[in-house]
Chains A and B, each alone.
Chain A
Amino acid sequence: GAVVSQHPSWVICKSGTSVKIECRSLDFQATTMFWYRQFPKQSLMLMATSNEGSKATYEQGVEKDKFLINHASLTLSTLTVTSAHPEDSSFYICSAREGNRVVGYGYTFGSGTRLTVV
C-alpha cells in the first residue's frame, strides 16, 4: 500500500530558529500533498495544499511567510517553520493521495512531527 514517510518524528528547537519537516511519498507519486496542524486533543486543521512545481495554497489565517512549503518533486514536500516561537509548538502531519488510485481509497498520512519550541 501507499506509504508516506515524515521526518523528523520530533524536534526541539530554540525560539527564533527555523525547522524543516520533510514529507516523502515512498512508493507513489503525489502531485498534491497536504499539511495539517494538530493541537493536543484537538482535530486536524489544514494549513496548506502543496502542489508539485507550483506555489502552495494556504488556508485562511495561515502565514505563508512563516510556514514555507516547497514541493520540489513528485515525492517530496517540505514545511519550514521560520523564526519559530513557543506558540508554534504543535503536531504537524502531512498527507498525500496517489492521484491515479481507484476511487474509494483514502489519503495516506505521515506519522507526524512533534515540534517543541523552547
Chain B
Amino acid sequence: SQQGEEDPQALSIQEGENATMNCSYKTSINNLQWYRQNSGRGLVHLILIRSNEREKHSGRLRVTLDTSKKSSSLLITASRAADTASYFCATAPTTGANSKLTFGKGITLSVRP
C-alpha cells in the first residue's frame, strides 16, 4: 500500500525558478528518501533524510522533514530543463538492507526552457 502522498501531482515552472514538492506519510519512519525517474527509466536516489534530522542539502536540493506533521518537502533551486522528470518520496521503517520502501504517487515536474 502507498504511504506517501506528494503534492502537487504536476508542476510546471520556468527554467531558473525554484520547484517545491511536498510529501506526506502516515506511519512511523526511520528515514525518508526522494527519488527521480526519467520517463521509462529506473529510479535514481537523490537524497535521504533520517527521522532525527530536520533539513538536509545536496547541491541544488534541499529537503526538510517534519515528523510531527509527517511531511517532507523537496526544493530544487535554480531549476534546469534537465530536471524535468517524475519525483517520488519513499519512506523506510528501518535501516536494514531488507527494509521495504513505500512510495508515494509521484510528482511530474516540467521545467520549461
Contacts and interface: CB of A to CB of B under 8 A. Distances in A.
Contacts of B108: 41
Query: Which label, helix, strand, loop or mixed, suits the secondary structure of the A interface?
Result: strand
Contacts of B2: 43, 45
Contact of A34 (B33, B88, B100, B106): B100
A108 B40 contact: no
Interface stretch (A11-19, A79-87, A91-99): A91-99
B80 interface: no
Contact of A99 (B43, B46, B97): B97
B102 A105 contact: no
B59 interface: no
B54 interface: no
A103 B98 CA distance: 13
29 contacts: A6-B42, A30-B97, A31-B97, A32-B97, A32-B98, A42-B106, A43-B88, A43-B105, A44-B43, A44-B103, A45-B2, A46-B100, A49-B98, A51-B98, A93-B43, A95-B43, A95-B101, A97-B97, A99-B97, A103-B50, A105-B48, A106-B46, A106-B47, A107-B33, A107-B45, A108-B45, A109-B43, A109-B45, A112-B42
Interface string B46-58: 1110100000000
Given A43-B88, A98-B97, A109 B40 contact: no
Nearest to A94: B42
A21 B5 CA distance: 30
B78 interface: no
A7 interface: no
A37 B17 CA distance: 33
Contacts of A98: 97
